Amino acid sequence: MNEFDLIQQFFSHANSNRTDVALGIGDDCALLQPKSGNQIAVTTDTMVDGIHFDSRLSPADLAHKLVAVNLSDLAAMGAEPCWVSLALTLPTSDSNWLTEFGAMLAERLQHYGVSLIGGDTTRGPLTLSLTAQGQLPAGTAMIRGGAKPGDLILVSGSLGDAALALQQDKLVALPAASIASLEQRLFRPTPRVELGLAIRALANACIDISDGLSADLNHILARSSAASGELLGAVIDADKLPVSATAVTVLGAKRAALNGLKGGDDYELCFTVSPDSLQPVLAAAEQCNTRVSVIGEINQTGQLAVQYQQQQLDWQAQGYLHFS
């Protein structure tokens, strides 16, 4: 099977018939017609066999996560997800693998109203790359550089279960259903698209949590410090971090909180809001049926401090770094 037959058979159905796609798969480029006055938000994520996933993930899991991690970036900007391009590197053209992967890719894209508009296929070690594009009114994007002193820090959902799912030696005593729940958080995260759209006019800064809360919050602090010209810091109340009952059972309350602070692959949103905007944010989150928690505050100390039950912890943020 050549690459053109592969695309036609397994991926030509992965679209939502969007009227803003003037020309989709089949030409040298796609042609898009965004709404007048909108900006385009663009993100790319790559998943590499042996680095980002292993044999535990099915082709359907891979497709689900590939879409989720990209749409999570768009959610962090408050952008409506619209179009994606897929670059797929395969060791072989396995029809069963492609059928399962392509079906889940199409299901996830159609769930969010997104069209697959192009991409590339090549032979090589299994590598999945997706470029996602969304749109939003010009000048309204949530960015990392907008946090202000006195802002409250919030996170969506719960933290740490994906990281805990990787610590298999700690899970042996758990019921199978509990392990499956943790792995669901790792293999099939939920991008907070609806929440991102709902808080776009309320949040001052936002980031999606991919490398761990403390590491990603430091990105907000660095960008906001550079933008404002003042050295910003934050204090996090680790005992206020939203963690699952399973994590507390396995690790204990304090260690579960610290796991939530440093663990990656959550794909939740971390954002800052002025105290006056808290109630509208909570109302918007309730409308989205999404839990949000206040976990700390932006200050002018120039550093990220972590406390647990009002006791300062010795903490150094360190997320996952590919080339460290």
Binding residues for Mg(2+): 28, 43-45, 73, 120, 208, 211
166 plus 303 within the same structural domain: yes
Binding residues: 28, 43-45, 52, 73, 119-120, 144, 208, 210-211, 265, 320
130 plus 152 within the same structural domain: no
Contact 148, 298 (CB under 8 A): yes
What 3-state class would DSSP assign to 52?
Answer: coil
Distance (Å, rounded) from C-alpha 299 to C-alpha 232?
6
pLDDT tens for residues 262-308? 998 999 999 999 999 999 999 999 999 999 999 999 999 999 999 99
Q: In whole angstroms, what separates CA 130 from the centre of its chain?
A: 13
- The owner of tokens 């700390």 is 296
Last residue of a domain, one of 137, 153, 182: 137
pLDDT tens for residues 188-241? 999 999 999 999 999 999 999 999 999 999 999 999 999 999 999 999 999 999
Tell me phi and psi for residue 42, to 5 degrees: -130, 135
Residue range of the domain that includes 220? 144-313
Confidence bin at 324 (pLDDT 50/70/90): very low
205 plus 248 within the same structural domain: yes
157 plus 303 within the same structural domain: yes
192 plus 132 within the same structural domain: no
Residue 48, beta-bridge partner list: 127
Specify the pLDDT at position 317. Answer: 58
Last residue of a domain, one of 137, 169, 194: 137
109 plus 155 within the same structural domain: no
pLDDT tens for residues 119-175? 889 999 999 999 999 999 999 999 999 999 999 999 999 999 999 999 988 998 899
pLDDT tens for residues 15-46? 667 889 998 888 889 899 999 999 999 999 99
Last residue of a domain, one of 105, 137, 169: 137
Contact 319, 207 (CB under 8 A): no
Number of structural domains in the chain: 2
Binding residues for ATP: 119-120, 144, 210
240 plus 97 within the same structural domain: no
Binding residues for substrate: 52, 265, 320
124 plus 173 within the same structural domain: no
In a domain? residue 323: no
Tokens of 35: 């709404």
81 plus 12 within the same structural domain: yes
Q: What pTM did the predictor assign?
A: 0.93
Contact 120, 31 (CB under 8 A): no
